[in-house]
Amino acid sequence: MFEETIEFIKSAYPEKKFIALHEPVFMGNEKKYLNECIDSTFVSSVGKFVDQFEEMVAEYTGAKYAIATVNGTAALHIALLLVGVEEGDEVITQPLTFIATCNAISYCNAKPVFIDVDRDTMGLSPAALEEFLQQNTGIKNNQCVNKVTGKIIKACVPMHTFGHPCKIDEIKDICDKYFITLVEDAAESLGSYYKGKHTGVFGKISVLSFNGNKTITTGGGGMLITNDEKLAKQAKHITTTAKVPHSFEYNHDIIGYNYRLPNLNAALGCAQMESLNAILKNKRELAKNYINFFYKHNIDFFTEQKETTVNYWLNAVILKDSQERNTFLKETNDMSVMTRPIWVLMSKIKMFEDCQSGDLSNSLWLENRVVNIPSGVTS
């Protein structure tokens, strides 16, 4: 049924016997910087490459501050702690997301509240958010209180799904009106822009990810970005085991976390950042080719919306129903073309099935139809 699609994807990767969903590409100074890092003996969380990587990401995104962490989940955990999420609080997010979002909320002993997404962005819906807050919450002492649970809704974590920006300015306006702190999950959207601004600079604090399957990689790694100097200092302190600076003594003033990115990983990140524009150009060309192909074959390819520039981290098609989706998945994977369905909704996962949800019609519709297709750099 999908023979032409399989052949087209294979033609984009002619040297591959097995076509992965998204594999890293190393086209620059990776080995040089790694060797330099090893020769320096500074391979742990202190070293020049950590500082350089943070500076490069801050400059690229337009954020004033960037703090490197061991992974994106750790970054999100710290972001939520820094904006005051505590035990018993609630955090609004979308059910159509990777589990790391909800895990980080759980690390704070808080609970997610699930709000629907928009079909055109696959990100948190401002309209659904506004409706939920109007019907279910009230403001008391400049805090948003959930009338159903009696809990404080402390933060909101929308995600830029597959690198496609959600309507983040509208979400921010709603959050501000309801005294909810906006924390952007920009883990998948390095190189994506909304109305001329890089994703991640709209929230009070935001996170990026550099996992092995991301647009650029540090092997594992994440980043907190913010324009708030106080938050940035707190982030660096708490991710460095909250050690009080001293030339030789070990004093710690609060519970901290060993979450800093090693210099070895940061060396890889610096080289990857140097190649980022070339990687993004290649990925956009692949997406353009996909758009033309799938349009001719009457298959809905997920494309960027007006006033956005998308990194096309993971390309996606939206099939007619779950049956066609399952056929597509089987035929492609049987032919060594890796594809995968979108995530199971977090509201269905055992640990979160008792969490409050709004109407999730769009999320359910997308869950049954969306498939990711190979998106790595082509030769």
In a domain, 196, yes or no: yes
Confidence of residue 247 (pLDDT cuts 50, 70, 90): confident
Q: Is residue 320 in a domain?
A: no
Is 362 part of any domain? no
Per-residue model confidence (pLDDT) at position 60: 98
CA dihedral 49, 107, 133, 360 (to 10 degrees): 90
Q: What is the pTM (predicted TM-score) of this model?
A: 0.96
Overall average pLDDT of the 24-39 stretch: 97
The answer to whether the CB of 102 falls within 8 A of the CB of 202 is no
- Please check whether residue 364 lies inside any domain of the structure: no
What residue numbers bound the domain in which 109 lies?
30-273
Residue 342 lies in a domain: no
The strand pairing partners of 225, in sequence order, are: 66, 206
At residue 139, the pLDDT reads: 98
Calculate the alpha carbon distances from 58 to 29, 65, 67, 200, 314 in Å.
20, 6, 9, 11, 23
CATH number of the domain within which 223 lies: 3.40.640.10
- Residue 44, domain member (yes or no): yes
Give a yes or no: residue 123 inside a domain: yes
Digit-coded pLDDT (tens) for 73-92: 999 999 999 999 999 999 99
Tell me what percent of the residues of the chain surpass a pLDDT of 70.
100
Number of domains forming the structure of the chain: 1
**pLDDT, tens digit, 9 for 90 and up, residues 281-307:** 999 999 999 999 999 999 999 999 999
Task: Report how far Cα 372 is from the mean position of its chain's Cα atoms.
Answer: 15
Quick check: helix, strand or coil at residue 150?
A: coil
Q: Which residue has the tokens 């402390």?
A: 154
Q: Classify residue 372: in a domain, yes or no.
A: no
Q: Is residue 266 pLDDT above 90, yes or no?
A: yes
